[in-house]
Structure 1
Amino acid sequence: MSWNKWTRGPLAALAVCVLLPFGAVACATGEAHGGTVAPSPVGKVLDNTDETGRNLREVPRKNAPEVAVEVTPDAAGGWDVRLALRHFRCSAPGTRPAAAIGRGLAHLYVDGRPVARLRTPAYHLAAGLVPQGTHQITARLYADDGTVWAVRGKPVESTADITVSDAEADTAEPPAATTSLGAGG
């Protein structure tokens, strides 16, 4: 099931969750995407959106959520993704879909394609999602209402570049990674 194809129905508040490997949980409510975002005392909802159509929620730089992503090859194949979070906590499954400062979930993207919604700072990325070549793994922080945490009009996110070479793709050895860390804002 592709999580970017959710539609709003009569039970818009219904949240569907899927357990992912290593305890990560993917949840979708559809509240902000394609709908209206309820006013909140947390930050300011901007008219600007990310490429998925979700509104940015501007917060001051001081104590704003931050994320850094690190991607390392896994000996069994695939990639281990670790998020370093600052001024941010992952919300538990079933959390009310409302913005609360420094809370929410992370969306994981490979080359701009959505891969997972994370409620923990660790995730195993299957080798098949990262074929031969250089790829960008991005983690972006979202509030529980589906808005994107933003500082100075830019989403709070971090990207790591990884490269899988020809020789690595043809052997049983895990591929090498080149990682760049950075917090958005």
Structure 2
Amino acid sequence: MSWTRRSPAALAVCALLLAAAGGCGTSDAGERKNGESPPAVGRLLDDTDEAGRPYREVRGADAPEVGIEVQPDPSGAGWDVRLTLRDFRLSPAGTAPTAVRGRGVARLFLDGRPVAELRTPEHHLAAGLVPRGTHQVTARLYADDDSVWAVDGEPVERTADITASGSEPTATTSPPGTGIRTGGSGSPGPGGKAS
């Protein structure tokens, strides 16, 4: 009997302690603490991607980086894409639509056409998506609120060239490095801007 009489009091004390300590659960950088909104990340620009998503400008020191490697599938059934990420983590499905520094999704483009949204660093491009010829595969980083991570007004992205022919296809790698804009030979990337 004494246990049931103390239970409401014990629960009330626990609730007060939890409220004073900031609540239950885990917190991540930029997520809500004590009911407060996360701090603003970067600055939204007037520039947008081809789908109308705004660029979110961050300083170079705070910017994520992406590298892309595209290799022919050993079975000849397409292309294996692998991303290398620095200062960036891919969000799982169901993540709140809030811009948090260093987090979001990567979108994959083939010759400027969107082909996939990536939540893991690996993807398989089916052979049927890549016709004969030389093509550009671009990985661009987005915040969870659908804004495009950008530095100096340019999207954070990397591009690799691939060539599909009747014989063996060839590919290139664009690792992350000091430059975070479109890689390649200076031709426009998916956003229509030259590298």
TM-score (norm 2): 0.69
Structure 1 residue matching 2:171: 3-state secondary structure: coil
Give the aligned residue type for 1:184: I
Distance 1:149 1:73, change over 3 A: same
Structure 1 CA distance for aligned equivalents of residues 70 and 120 of structure 2: 15
Structure 2 CA distance for aligned equivalents of residues 40 and 57 of structure 1: 14
Give the aligned residue type for 2:49: D
Structure 1 residue matching 2:128: 3-state secondary structure: helix
Percent identical across equivalent pairs?
A: 64
1:62 aligns with 2:51: no
Alignment check: 8 A CA contact 2:72 2:169 kept: yes
Q: Specify the alignment match of 2:49 in structure 1.
A: 50
Q: How do 1:90-129 and structure 2 match up within 5 A?
A: 90-129=90-129
Structure 2 residue matching 1:62: 3-state secondary structure: helix
Higher relative contact order (CA 8 A, sep 6+): 1
Q: Specify the alignment match of 1:184 in structure 2.
A: 180
1:150 aligns with 2:144: no
Alignment check: 8 A CA contact 1:162 1:179 kept: no
Post-superposition CA distance 1:72-115 (Å, at most 9, x none): 00012200000000000000110000000000000000000000
| Cα RMSD for the two superposed structures | 1.6
Give the aligned residue type for 1:85: L
Structure 1 CA distance for aligned equivalents of residues 71 and 159 of structure 2: 13
Which is helix-richer, 1 or 2? 2
Q: Specify the alignment match of 2:71 in structure 1.
A: 72
Which structure 1 segments of 5+ residues have no match? 1-38, 169-173
* Rg (Cα) greater in structure: 2
Structure 1 CA distance for aligned equivalents of residues 112 and 172 of structure 2: 18
Structure 2 CA distance for aligned equivalents of residues 133 and 179 of structure 1: 17
Structure 2 residue matching 1:75: 3-state secondary structure: coil
Q: Specify the alignment match of 1:84 in structure 2.
A: 84
